[in-house]
């Protein structure tokens, strides 16, 4: 995120002496991207962040493509899934993947993590479909709620505490590259432009520090190269008294995304919310339909030449699709045309507005569904245009 932010106590000059009340030095740590040429933040620890008490045996933590699934328009019926696992990590079920990105769901039974997690492989984008809680990280406390996108840069150490009441459903996207705001919405110094569908006022960084000073036994599970590595420390990784910089987790609500509309049907890029290497994320939100007197609100048929398109249906009435429920995925693969189901085009004529929320992932490399997806596949979907 390209704007400067700071919390807590920091020295006037970086890389200079900054002492604790007992006279010892705070331990400075620079968390940087692209070596030292990308965005970074500087953190000040009470304890040395390198003091490891023990390292446990790595555990496999990866997903496999479903072999020989073939070229099929795909509907994953995940709307009725209540729980996908016991805790935050075991509940992750990645359903689609390529070398740039993975996408899946997470509905853990346990609402509070009793360990910390660090993803050393990629940035994460977590969409809170249902639930509310708090993200605790080195950068502080960030309250999150239904409809939030949470961007978590790689190597951020964090844990979630979600409210015990009500459903908890997360959509998780993991990226090999940095997840960023959209370049065409920014000026030369990184400020979001007037025509952007959201601005800095909508972006919520951590709002206060959360300092854990006590010694004890603290487990950090680190995801790296298809394994979970178990690192135990004698102090909490959240022992930060202050930090500043440009790299930190933040939240942006889908409800704060302002739609761009026109006289005739607007293509999906007007809904773009984030960019990353090899894919984009778009937000479909309630909006006025096209106002040309002969407009057709339903989307036209489309042949993807060089991308695959995933829609995750969050809320509302999905005008162009039949048999799709809240929490369903559709995957329309490049190489096949896709479009509205029979009857939906005529039905849309004269409609004034849509009341739907959906998250779209468009990739520029082909996606494969994983073996975890197979139990959710709607076998009738590829033939659903022949009614």
**Catalytic (active-site) positions:** 265
Q: 340-362 as b/e, with b when 16 or more CB fall inside 10 Å?
A: bbeebbeebeeeeebebbbbbbb
How many Å from the N-terminal Cα to the C-terminal Cα in the chain? 46
Instruction: Determine whether the annotation assigns residue 210 to a binding site.
Output: no
Instruction: Determine whether the annotation assigns residue 338 to a binding site.
Output: yes
Token pair of 174, please?
């993991």
What is the spatial distance between Cα 327 and Cα 130, in angstroms, rounded to a whole number? Answer: 10
Instruction: Determine whether the annotation assigns residue 47 to a binding site.
Output: no
CB 326 within 8 A of CB 358: no
Residues contributing to the annotated binding site for homogentisate = 338
Residues contributing to the annotated binding site = 302, 308, 338
Residues contributing to the annotated binding site for Fe cation = 302, 308, 338
């Amino acid at each position: 995120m390209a704007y400067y932010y700071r919390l807590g106590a920091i020295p006037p000059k970086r890389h200079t002496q900054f002492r604790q009340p007992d006279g010892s030095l705070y331990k400075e740590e620079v968390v940087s991207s692209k070596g030292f040429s990308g965005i970074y933040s500087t953190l000040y620890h009470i304890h040395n962040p390198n003091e490891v008490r023990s390292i446990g045996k790595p555990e496999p933590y990866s997903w496999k493509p479903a072999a020989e699934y073939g070229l099929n328009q795909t509907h994953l019926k995940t709307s009725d899934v209540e729980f996908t696992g016991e805790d935050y990590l075991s509940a992750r079920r990645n359903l689609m993947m390529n070398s740039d990105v993975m996408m899946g769901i997470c509905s853990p039974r346990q609402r509070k993590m009793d360990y910390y997690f660090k993803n050393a492989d990629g940035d994460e984008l977590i969409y809170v479909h249902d639930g509310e809680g708090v993200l605790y990280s080195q950068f502080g406390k960030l309250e999150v709620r239904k409809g939030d996108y949470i961007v978590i840069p790689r190597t951020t150490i964090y844990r979630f505490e979600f409210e015990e009441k009500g459903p908890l459903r997360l959509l998780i996207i993991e990226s090999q590259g940095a997840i960023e705001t959209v370049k065409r919405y920014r000026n030369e110094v990184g400020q979001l432009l007037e025509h952007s569908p959201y601005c800095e006022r909508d972006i919520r960084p951590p709002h206060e520090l959360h300092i854990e000073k006590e010694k004890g036994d603290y487990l950090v599970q680190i995801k790296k190269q298809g394994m979970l590595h178990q690192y135990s420390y004698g102090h909490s990784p959240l022992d930060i008294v202050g930090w500043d910089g440009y790299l930190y987790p933040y939240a942006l609500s889908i409800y704060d995304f302002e739609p761009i509309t026109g006289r005739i049907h607007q293509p999906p890029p007007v809904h773009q919310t984030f960019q990353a290497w090899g894919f984009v994320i778009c937000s479909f939100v309630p909006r006025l339909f096209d106002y040309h007197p002969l407009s057709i609100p339903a989307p036209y048929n489309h042949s993807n030449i060089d991308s695959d398109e995933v829609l995750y249906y969050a809320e509302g009435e999905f005008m162009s699709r039949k048999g799709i429920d809240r929490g369903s995925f559709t995957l329309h693969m490049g190489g096949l045309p896709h479009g509205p189901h029979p009857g939906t085009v005529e039905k849309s004529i004269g409609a004034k507005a849509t009341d739907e929320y959906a998250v779209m992932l468009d990739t520029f490399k082909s996606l494969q569904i994983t073996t975890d997806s197979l139990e959710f596949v709607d076998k009738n979907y590829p033939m659903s245009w022949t009614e």
